[in-house]
Chain A
Amino acid sequence: GQSLEQPSEVTAVEGAIVQINCTYQTSGFYGLSWYQQHDGGAPTFLSYNALDGLEETGRFSSFLSRSDSYGYLLLQELQMKDSASYFCAVNPAGTALIFGKGTTLSVSS
């Protein structure tokens, strides 16, 4: 089967840097994705890593180590609007996404 582990909650202050870790166990692996979901809203795509290394997109970066079955999402210069749930996801069969339980990020001023 598939399992993804990520912390349930993270808190930080505006302007800080936060890292959300994700470890996974899957029968197949194509890549690790990250999605953001504001309360009651739709998940939106943030990043995807198919190969080892760091991908940077503005204030957000994502890292993958396939040998360690581990990845993380790094959020820099935190803003209040970054308060949301963050999900890591894999698509082990190359089709649908299997999501972690999500990490709720609370950013305070």
Chain B
Amino acid sequence: DSGVTQTPKHLITATGQRVTLRCSPRSGDLSVYWYQQSLDQGLQFLIQYYNGEERAKGNILERFSAQQFPDLHSELNLSSLELGDSALYFCASSALAGGGNEQFFGPGTRLTVL
């Protein structure tokens, strides 16, 4: 158990819908990262927050957005969902803003878009 929690574990929805994925980092970690894992694209970095502020952006679509709240939990919002958005979404946390050398991953949310 990494100490990172993600809800929900599974999510099934329809094209065009909007969903919110939630992540709570390890106690004391200020950095939160979101990654998408699909069969054809592998593990791809989406976005990072550090202590409430956006720190780095990766291959995140404009239809996707995220935020980190004062209690340090984070939410990833996915809107106008398409079939291709079906994937495993991981949240990870680390103590450092720079990512350091170890990130702790949550169990993931499996999103299925029908």
Residue numbers of A with Cβ under 8 A of B are 30-31, 33, 40-45, 48, 50, 87, 91, 93-102
Contacts and interface: CB of A to CB of B under 8 A. Distances in A.
B102 interface: yes
Secondary structure of the B side of the interface?
A: strand
A95 B104 contact: no
B24 to A, nearest CB: 14
Contacts of B56: 93, 95-96
A94 B102 contact: no
A42 B2 contact: yes
Secondary structure of the A side of the interface?
A: loop
A96 B91 CA distance: 12
B8 interface: no
B43 to A, nearest CB: 4
Given A43-B90, A101-B42, A102-B42, A95 B99 contact: yes
